[in-house]
Structure 1
């Protein structure tokens, strides 16, 4: 279970590292979540924030079943996805093999804290609903900076996200079924992982080699979309 500490008068969540088997067991769960309208809309916002993917080399850190890459890839896009879960990677390969997507794609089992790529390998790196789960977010941000020569785009729960806030969103927008269930589950998990403020995330990213950090709130403030450039 997470433990709370107190550093510089700020509550800090210390989180354990997930094992690959925990995600292996939830492939269908995460794939259904990626296909909800609310998360799909966030994926679209993230893609728009990075500009065109035409002719670009894209990396998705914590790619899950590859749904984000499928949304943004064009014929000339080179896409690479990494995930800790071998079963997620197998599902990604299966889904991309069944589509008429980009001609160049690859999916690898890898740890976000130790990406298996040379420096400056990708023009754009994306990561959705991943950084907030990491025990050491700065390690992940540093690895992203090492392998990226252009833009990064991140999607995380905001500081205010949680069960109560997600339930209020559900009621306001009359979400039902899995749209409702997955959003509330996201809020439940967020309460026990990292919930970054804009200032906190900016400072962290700048320490890791990113500049021009820009944040945008989505889903009535539940989601934080962040873009930055490689310093």
Structure 2
């Protein structure tokens, strides 16, 4: 995985949310959480694994809505941030945080109803192998996002500390097919780069977001969106 040493540093974990999801970045946080909730609801008693859970943004949210959640990440510092969030939200007893490798998930086959991986596939050096492992432990559903090749992100991708693997829609469809997954839904968003929102005060970022949504509704413009949210179902085995 790209940038593992940087990602696991204590100071990176401590500042991670503030750098990405404060100011106009709150709009990114809101959109990503909405994508996950739209795909997974209803959540009551659903068994969910979140891969690369980081500071627990989604893990804590899902537990708060009644899911039985496990959050897995390679960074001990990120996991500690997640545990602190869970305690503050009063859901520490409803979820579990584990340190582990997404390429070798420590769970039996079909152990979860749903596997979620947000902000993960842009770092995957072998996306097919990772998706195959997610498919193995999920009995019903896999939800993930990808950053897109034909987007503004391609302009500054080289400057990011962990880099990014950028995908075309064709590549993702091929990955799903190769892993016996059927696409239930895909949503494309954010024509403007994420970095622009993060450096913009929320009072100014909100009008930018409105403009972004307006432009995104134009025909064929969604192909230039920075991110796609994918919701896939596990195919039934052929008898």
* 2:63–2:69 CA contact under 8 A, matched in 1: yes
* 2:183–2:230 CA contact under 8 A, matched in 1: no
CA shift digits 1:41-75 (9 cap, x unpaired): 22222221222211101111000000112233335
State the 1:93 CA deviation: 1.4
Greater CA drift, 187-196 or 109-118: 187-196
Partner of residue 196 from structure 1, selected from 167, 183, 198: 167
Q: Secondary structure at the match of 1:201?
A: helix
Q: Secondary structure at the match of 1:131?
A: coil
Structure with the bigger percentage of strand: 1
Partner of residue 27 from structure 1, selected from 13, 33, 44: 13
CA shift digits 1:185-204 (9 cap, x unpaired): x7953994311111210111
State the 1:227 CA deviation: 0.8
Gaps of 5+ in 2: 192-224
Gaps of 5+ in 1: 1-15, 166-183
1:222 and 2:226 matched: yes
Greater CA drift, 57-66 or 47-56: 47-56
C-alpha RMSD over aligned residues: 2.4
Match of 2:42 in 1: 52
1:107 and 2:78 matched: no
Match of 1:205 in 2: 176
Q: Secondary structure at the match of 1:229?
A: strand
Structure 1 residues 64-83: aligned runs within 5 Å = 64-74=54-64, 76-83=66-73
Match of 2:28 in 1: 39
Q: TM-score, normalised by structure 1?
A: 0.76
Structure with the bigger percentage of helix: 2
The number of residue pairs the alignment matches comes to 196
* Distance in structure 2 (CA, Å) of the matches to 1:75 and 1:199: 34
* 2:72–2:98 CA contact under 8 A, matched in 1: yes
After TM superposition, where is structure 1 displaced by more than 6 Å over at least 4 residues in a row?
Answer: none
Match of 1:7 in 2: none
* Distance in structure 2 (CA, Å) of the matches to 1:115 and 1:203: 23
Q: Secondary structure at the match of 1:92?
A: helix
Q: Select the structure with the greater relative contact order (CA < 8 A; seq sep ≥ 6).
A: 2
Pick closer, same or farther for the CA change 1:83–1:128 going to 2, 3 Å.
Answer: same
State the 1:103 CA deviation: 3.7
* Distance in structure 2 (CA, Å) of the matches to 1:192 and 1:22: 11
Greater CA drift, 217-226 or 22-31: 22-31
* 2:63–2:94 CA contact under 8 A, matched in 1: no
* 1:162–1:190 CA contact under 8 A, matched in 2: no
* 2:107–2:137 CA contact under 8 A, matched in 1: yes
